[in-house]
Every structure is written in C-alpha cells, then in structure tokens.
C-alpha cells in the first residue's frame, strides 16, 4: 500500500531503456517562456493557454514542499506522467525547487525535446546520495510507470497526469505511487461526459451517471473529484480537493487533490445532485435518501422534469486556506496581477476562495434564468450578491461562468430579491 515510505533512490534502479544518454544534448531553442522559464515545445502537444493551470500546480507544489509534508526533511519528488515537451517537469525543477523530477511521455519521439529542456539542470545533483539524479526521462504508458513505482515502493510528493480525454484508468496507480499527504493533479478534457452527452464513459471512467445540467462544467469538476474519492476509498484512503479549475479553452477540467490516510465516512461529500427544470431549484441527496429524490415544488415534477447526476463530489471544490496561501505566494512572486494568456491569478484565486464556502451547495444559477423566471431585467451581479448576503445567504461569483451566481438561497427567493432590486415588489 502507498505509505509514508522512506525516501526513494530512484535513478540507479532504472532499467537501461529509461536511462538518459550520457551525451549532453544541444541546448533548446527556447522559443517559449512561462513565468520566466524558457523552453522549446518542439513537436509536442503544448498549449500556452494552459499556463494558468501550470501556475496553479507550481504554487500548490511549492507550498506543499515548504510546509505540507509529513517528513519535511525527505527529498521532494515529483512525477510528470504525461509530460509532453516537459514544461511542467521543468517548472517543478526551476520554480518549485523539486529535488527530483521524473518526466514521462509515452511518445519516444519527444525524448530529444524533453531532455534538451531539462538539460538546463544537471542530471545528477549534489549533495544527494551517490547515484541520485535530479531528473529522469522515460517513455512508458502512464499506468504502467506508476504501477512500477508502487511495486518498487517509490512514492512521490506530487504526481501530475495531464491527460487527453477522460480516461481515468491511471488514477488508482497514481494514488498508489503517491506519498500519504501528497498531491495528485488530474486533468480531463472529456467535456461530453461532463456535460451529460457521454453517460456511459462517465460511468466507466468516474463511476458517475451524468446528464445535462444547467452547470455542466462544475458537474465535470465534481465528476473528476468524485472518481478520485472513490478510488482512494477503495484503497483505504480519502482525498480532499486542494483546488478545482475549469478552463474554457479545451475545455479542460483540472483538479488537485491531497491524499489523506484512512477512510473518512466516505459519503458525506459524495452523493447525488438533483435539478428540477420546472422550478429551477437544485438539491443534493445522500445515498440514504435515494428513494426520496424529488423536488417538492408545486410544479409538475415527473421523470422528465427532474435530472439526477451522480454519485459525485458534493463537498467544497477547494481548500480555502490553502488557496489563500497560494494567492499570497502569487503576490510574493509577482504573479498575481500579471495576466498571462488572459488569466489574472489574483482574480481567479479570489473567486475560488469565495467558492470554497462550505455553506454553498453544488451548482450555480444563471442570472438570465433568475430574470426570466422573475420577469425582470437582470440585476447587476454584484448588487444581487450583496443583497443576498444582506439577507443572510452565502453568495458569490463562480470562476466557471461569467453571469452566474453560487448561493444557498433558493431560486424562488433569488427571484424575489431580483424583483426588489428592480423595484418590482
């Protein structure tokens, strides 16, 4: 079982095909830069749009290295299981200060570009034990590589799996190769499953039956977290989300979770979300309430008017205090207000912090849905949020949608507040 195992001595145990060549590769052309780190994407799949997702990973991994670990004196080990050109591996070395990074990509053709990008760091680095290297490049199927690490009792502090699509087959192996307390960064680009157009694949990949919902991209994040929670429970662990990030380009669902020792109760944050098309209200239901799923509104609520998705993660999407530390680090490094590729970290992280309020139920309500149902023009979003807060409700923006509100206020009361703002009551 994955455990707070002793530090591993990875590189000298590598079989020959994975050993990096002794010849120093030509320096990379360095055609791209992310937060001051230069690299060459070569022919690898690389999107500059994803830089914010990499920024978030670097901030979280750095905080984890500084004070999140069970054994802070152990070498800090990262594994980038689908590394493309190696930009993440490079950033884990250059910005997080990882003692060792394993960069893997199934494609052998990418080896020259990955090795060239990482070569700005000496492969073997003092003062670690003899034989320890700073980085290794391999070309293996991610699940096989992760399973091998587990079998050799080589456990990592951060594992990053930046996959295409939504095949979550690697999640169990990744959890097994992670140190207890370690961070697992998951990606899904399977928007069909997230949005309810691929219920079979959401079921096989994440164990969740998903149908179209008014907040499909939040459901997508919850589907990915729920899948990881289920795998962790199966192994006798539990996970907590560090942050969840939806990005429209792609679209991409990214989730960083922390692996925690022991099972929790397993079901308080794992259940079903029900949405009533007739009245617009959403609710969550636990496993012990399965037979009671209905809306309770006065409208007609037959099978067609109720959508149920799950089981998936119904708890908070992020860890608010960890996000506050990430924001403070982004400020310290001068990253908070510099918008790279259109994403300003200060705005993104502040919104995520507000979204972490445990009073907030899953989902959000579109402003135009409130105004359509209330038969008034849409009130300004900020005004509506302030009014709901004055009434004692939790309310905030969502990082996922621009004109939407997350709130624990029932939609009928949101309509009343919207009418009041428009002086219609």
Ligand X SMILES: C[S@@+](CC[C@H](N)C(=O)[O-])C[C@H]1O[C@@H](n2cnc3c(N)ncnc32)[C@H](O)[C@@H]1O
The residues that touch ligand X, with contacts defined as CB under 6 A, are 44-46, 50, 82-84, 87-88, 105-107, 141-142, 162, 164
- Nearest-approach distance from CB 410 to Zn ion, in angstroms: 10
- Nearest-approach distance from CB 258 to ligand X, in angstroms: 21
Asked if 113 and 46 touch (Cβ cutoff 8 Å), the reply is no
Asked if 188 and 253 touch (Cβ cutoff 8 Å), the reply is yes
Strand locations in 168-300, DSSP E? 178-188, 237-247, 252-261, 270-276, 282-285
Q: Which is nearer to Zn ion, 223 or 276 (CB)?
A: 276
Please tell me the distance from the alpha carbon of residue 380 to that of residue 421, in angstroms, as a whole number. 9
- Nearest-approach distance from CB 171 to ligand X, in angstroms: 13
**Tally of CA atoms within 13 A in the half-sphere of 390 that contains its CB:** 9
Q: Which of ligand X, Zn ion, none interacts with 77 (beta carbon under 5 to 8 A by kind)?
A: none
- Nearest-approach distance from CB 247 to ligand X, in angstroms: 12
Q: Which of ligand X, Zn ion, none interacts with 297 (beta carbon under 5 to 8 A by kind)?
A: Zn ion
Q: Which is nearer to ligand X, 45 or 299 (CB)?
A: 45
Nearest to 80 by CA among 172, 183, 5: 183
CA distance to 319, 414, 421, per residue, from 71 (Å)? 21, 48, 54
- Nearest-approach distance from CB 304 to Zn ion, in angstroms: 12
* Residue carrying structure tokens 């992760």: 146
Q: Which is nearer to ligand X, 66 or 139 (CB)?
A: 139
Cβ within 8 Å of residue 320, ≥6 positions away: 353, 356, 357
Q: Which of Zn ion, ligand X, none interacts with 235 (beta carbon under 5 to 8 A by kind)?
A: none
- Nearest-approach distance from CB 217 to Zn ion, in angstroms: 23
* 285 beta partners: 272
Q: Which of Zn ion, ligand X, none interacts with 295 (beta carbon under 5 to 8 A by kind)?
A: Zn ion
* Chain residue whose CB lies nearest ligand X: 84
Residues making contact with Zn ion (CB under 5 A): 276, 278-279, 295, 297
Q: Which of ligand X, Zn ion, none interacts with 164 (beta carbon under 5 to 8 A by kind)?
A: ligand X
Sign of CA dihedral 12, 18, 23, 26: negative
Q: Which is nearer to ligand X, 162 or 354 (CB)?
A: 162
Asked if 337 and 370 touch (Cβ cutoff 8 Å), the reply is no
* Helix H or strand E encompassing 392: none
């Amino acid at each position: 079982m994955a455990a707070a195992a002793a530090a591993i001595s990875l590189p000298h145990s590598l079989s020959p095909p994975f050993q990096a060549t002794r010849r120093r590769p030509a320096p990379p052309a360095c055609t791209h830069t992310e937060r001051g780190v230069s690299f060459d994407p070569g022919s690898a799949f690389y999107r500059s749009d994803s830089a914010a997702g990499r920024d978030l990973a670097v901030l979280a991994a750095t905080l984890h290295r500084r004070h999140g670990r069970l054994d802070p004196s152990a070498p800090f080990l990262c594994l980038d299981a689908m590394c493309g050109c190696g930009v993440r591996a490079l950033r884990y070395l250059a910005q997080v200060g990882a003692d060792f990074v394993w960069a893997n990509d199934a494609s052998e053709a990418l080896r020259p570009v990955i090795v060239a990008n990482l070569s700005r760091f000496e492969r073997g680095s003092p003062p670690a034990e003899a034989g320890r290297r700073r980085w290794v490049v391999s070309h293996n199927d991610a699940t096989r590589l992760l399973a091998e690490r587990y079998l050799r009792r080589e456990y990592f502090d951060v594992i990053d799996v930046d996959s295409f699509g939504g095949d979550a087959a690697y999640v169990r192996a990744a959890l097994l190769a992670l140190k207890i307390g370690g961070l697992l960064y998951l990606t899904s680009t399977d928007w069909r499953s997230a949005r309810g157009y691929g219920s079979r694949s959401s079921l096989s990949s994440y164990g969740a039956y998903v149908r179209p919902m008014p907040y499909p991209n939040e459901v997508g994040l919850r589907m990915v977290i729920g899948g990881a929670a289920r795998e962790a429970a199966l192994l006798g662990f539990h996970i907590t989300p560090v942050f969840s990030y939806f990005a429209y380009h792609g679209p991409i669902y990214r989730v960083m979770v922390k692996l925690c020792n022991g099972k929790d109760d397993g079901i308080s944050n794992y259940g079903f979300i029900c949405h009533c098309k007739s009245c617009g209200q959403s609710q969550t239901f636990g496993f012990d309430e399965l037979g009671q799923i209905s809306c309770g509104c006065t409208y007609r609520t037959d099978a067609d008017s109720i959508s149920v998705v799950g089981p998936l993660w119904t708890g908070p999407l992020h860890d608010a205090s960890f996000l506050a530390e990430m924001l403070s680090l982004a400020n310290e490094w001068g990253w908070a207000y510099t918008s790279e590729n259109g994403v300003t970290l200060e705005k993104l992280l502040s919104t995520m912090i507000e979204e972490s309020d445990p009073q907030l139920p899953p989902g959000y309500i579109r402003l135009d849905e409130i105004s359509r149902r209330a038969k008034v023009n849409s009130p300004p979003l900020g005004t509506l949020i302030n009014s709901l807060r004055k009434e004692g409700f939790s309310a905030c923006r969502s990082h996922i949608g621009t004109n939407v509100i997350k709130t624990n206020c029932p939609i009928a009361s949101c309509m009343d507040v919207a009418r009041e703002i428009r002086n219609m009551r």
